[in-house]
Structure formats: structure tokens, C-alpha cells
């Protein structure tokens, strides 16, 4: 990944963080999403160390983990509301 491709990816990540900063999130949802992101980032980093592309795989793992944590939270909320 060259320097020219890193800049747009970095700007996109910063824009996403800036947009999400203004959102009000339930504490439990935030915790589960953050935990998923941390686990995903760790997994992505491990794969990136082995196969190359450390930063890209870490970010991809974090995004996938955050999505998984959010989905898990929504499933738990659905079970609690029954």
C-alpha cells in the first residue's frame, strides 16, 4: 500500500470517528461494540503480522469486530425484551 492510498483511508477513518462521536449510544451497546472492535483488531493484527498488510488487516478486523459486537448487542436486547 503506497502513501497515496494510505491518505484517503486515514481520512475516511477519521471522518467515520468524527461522525460517530456525536452519536448518543446506550452504554451496554457501546461496551459490546468496543469489545468486538478490540477483539477484531487483535485478530486482524495477528493475521496481518503473519501474512503482511498489518494496518489494513487490523482496521478490517476492528470494523468487522465492531459490527459483530453491535449485532450481538441487538440480539441480546431482543432476547431481554421478550
pLDDT at position 26: 80
List the grid coordinates of 38.
478490540
User: What is the pLDDT at residue 79?
Assistant: 92
For residue 30, what pLDDT is reported?
86
pLDDT at 5: 57
How many Cβ atoms are within 10 Å of 76's Cβ, its own excluded?
13
- Does this model's pTM top 0.75? My answer is no
CA distances (Å), origin 37, targets 56, 57, 78: 14, 12, 21
Q: In the structure grid, which three cell numbers stand for residue 49, read together?
A: 503480522
Domain ranges of the chain: 25-80
At residue 18, the pLDDT reads 65
Closest by Cα among 47, 53, 20 to 34:
20
pLDDT along the chain (82 residues), means of 10: 61 68 75 92 93 90 92 92 82
Helix (H, G, I), strand (E, B) or coil at 15: helix
Amino acid at each position: 500500500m503506497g502513501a497515496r492510498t494510505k491518505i484517503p483511508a486515514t481520512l475516511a477513518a477519521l471522518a467515520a470517528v468524527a461522525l460517530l462521536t456525536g452519536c448518543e449510544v446506550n452504554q451496554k451497546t457501546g461496551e459490546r461494540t468496543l469489545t468486538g472492535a478490540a477483539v477484531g483488531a487483535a485478530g486482524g493484527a495477528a493475521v496481518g503480522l503473519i501474512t503482511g498488510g498489518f494496518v489494513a488487516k487490523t482496521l478490517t478486523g476492528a470494523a468487522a469486530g465492531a459490527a459483530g459486537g453491535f449485532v450481538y448487542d441487538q440480539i441480546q436486547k431482543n432476547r431481554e425484551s421478550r
